Chains A and B, each alone.
Chain A
Amino acid sequence: MKPLVPVPRGARIVLGVAFFVLFTAVWAVATLGGFVSKTFLADPVTMVQSGWTLLTKMGFAYDIGMTVWRVLGGFVIAAVLAVPLGVAMGAWKPVEAFFEPFVSFARYLPASAFIPLLILWAGIGEAQKLSVIFIGSFFQLVLMIAVAVGNVRRDLVEAAYTLGSSSGSLVRRVMIPNAAPEIAEILRMVLGWAWTYVIVAELIGASSGIGHMITDSQALLATDQIIFGIIVIGLIGLVSDLAFKAANRALYPWAQLGR
């Protein structure tokens, strides 16, 4: 195999699906073949059956809905505030000098460690869940967006000035459109991280959500349900990721050229 030689589309799909099949097969052999105790790891068939029960009889769809709502809510709040701040930091160096050191520090504060504090401040309601996701994603978004905006090619900036751009229109008409595809990629990536934060938030002090179901199942040693919950999160993550990618391709066709 030569490095960087692309694979045909058909072969790529086959290869991608093949690993899922292999993974499931190994899991099935390990559990159904009796190599691993059912107490520790449920087999795929039981997992699917109890997943079905969860969805049809135990209102798991509501939990999924709650979790999706929390992720999107927290993430949208973080993005709405982080995008303008990141753009301002990328464009205006004094703004960056003011915020950057603090934001760099804040992004290493573990969002999950804030949960006890947030419960104290915001209770165990939705505000607490949204806060965890906000803390986990806001600072990351700000820093990465600032870098993306600030990395505009200097000769494009100069070209805009010689065409009569003012500082304001340079930001609006050059720096933002230039960074837009990268900002969209950053949003896609951080949304993925937001999914891990929501589950952590729901593991502690929640009365609904996928994370809550997983904690409940742990008390019952229902590994089948836990695995089903984890897989549901993975599937939703995958779908949102593909949707984001498709949207980016549709919104920024020029950024796909020459890739």
Chain B
Amino acid sequence: MSGATSGGVAAGALPILQVRALSRTFHTAAQGATVALQATDLDVAENDFVTILGPSGCGKSTLLRIVAGLDQPSTGEVLLDGVGVGGPGADRGMVFQSYTLFPWLTVLDNVCFGLRERGLPRAEQLEIARDFIGRVGLASFENHYPKQLSGGMQQRTALARALANRPRMLLMDEPFGALDHQTRELMQELLLGIWEHERKTVLFVTHDIDEAVFMGGRVVVMSARPGRIKSDRAIGFGHPRHYSLKTTPEFGHIKAELTEELRAEVLAAAGQAAERA
């Protein structure tokens, strides 16, 4: 699967997501206009796992938020299944870096939230929710409130909540960014395991090279501000992927290349910061 989608989409098939000449400029009184995202094109094929890698402040989160409909582009458009995206919707599930479980709902009711919005009968909501809670390994925690859970468990619930809603695609904005290293690696394996089972189309933003390569069927590197796509490469490792993949020479090779690419961008970003100061 991963090799077939190298750099774009197989001929003939309509990509699930099309990003066309998308740009975003922020206007502030203090700094004037800041170009967060330069005209960007990106196609994502059905069932692909695309990771977007970039230094902080490169506009990768802005890109994801526009795809989610949570931010409006200055120019360009986002098409989901060929239809323009105007605002947020249940067809694009999202997992945020911050913990966004509703604190007044238990794990079970958090996962039911979107199902209830769709008006499913309660019995059906519970059945679907319990299925996904089980898949993220939290079956014995369904009656816990978010504050009673660790960060990793909260993000697992957030993942179950997004998946239970059966979105067309899943958007993930550094979902493991706030977790400690060991938890983060376990979460990567968990997400990958679920993805290998579901093959849900994923757009995954991260600044962690290991994470981008380990998770992605395709890694898109973004440049420092103003953000644009600098490189786009397929990751040829098959599935299922085992965590020991991270220690193989091929993995190290790809990582070294991406490290060089990213380092140039981080330096550029630091240079810009120094200029502004």
Contact = CB atoms under 8 A, between A and B. Distances in A.
Interface in B156-186: 158, 161-162, 165, 171
Interface string A157-173: 01111111110010001
Contacts of A166: 117
Interface in B73-110: 87-90, 92-94, 96, 98, 100, 102-105
A258 interface: yes
Nearest to A176: B104
Contact of A178 (B98, B104, B145): B104
A164 B70 contact: no
Contacts of B102: 156, 159-160, 174, 177-178
B219 interface: no
A253 B118 CA distance: 27
A257 B148 contact: yes
Interface of B: 68-70, 87-90, 92-94, 96, 98, 100, 102-105, 113-114, 116-118, 145, 147-148, 158, 161-162, 165, 171
B93 A169 contact: no
- DSSP majority for the A interface? helix
A35 to B, nearest CB: 53
Interface in A84-140: none
A162 B117 CA distance: 11
A164 B96 CA distance: 16
A164 B114 contact: yes
Given A155-B100, A162-B69, A165-B117, 14 more contacts: A156-B100, A158-B88, A158-B100, A159-B102, A161-B88, A161-B89, A162-B89, A162-B90, A162-B92, A162-B162, A173-B117, A253-B145, A254-B145, A257-B148
A253 B92 CA distance: 32
Interface residues of A, number: 24
Contacts of A177: 102, 104-105
A254 B143 CA distance: 11
Contact of A163 (B103, B114, B147): B114
A252 interface: yes
Nearest to B89: A164
27 contacts: A153-B100, A155-B96, A155-B98, A155-B100, A158-B68, A158-B88, A158-B94, A159-B94, A159-B102, A160-B113, A161-B69, A161-B87, A162-B68, A162-B89, A162-B90, A162-B92, A163-B113, A163-B114, A164-B118, A173-B113, A173-B116, A177-B102, A177-B104, A252-B104, A254-B103, A257-B145, A257-B148
B104 A158 contact: no
Contacts of B88: 158, 161-162
Interface string A29-45: 00000000000000000
The residue in A158, A166, A173 that gathers the most chain B C-beta atoms within 10 A of its C-beta is A158
Contacts of B147: 254, 257-258
A174 B101 CA distance: 11
A255 B105 CA distance: 11
A81 B92 CA distance: 39
A180 interface: yes
A158 B96 CA distance: 9
Contacts of B105: 177, 254
Contacts of A156: 100, 102
Contacts of B69: 161-162
A165 B89 CA distance: 8
Nearest to A166: B117
B104 A163 contact: no
B118 A158 contact: no
Contact of A159 (B92, B96, B116, B145): B96
Nearest to A162: B94
Contacts of B161: 163
B70 A162 contact: yes
Nearest to B87: A161
A161 to B, nearest CB: 4
A164 B90 CA distance: 4
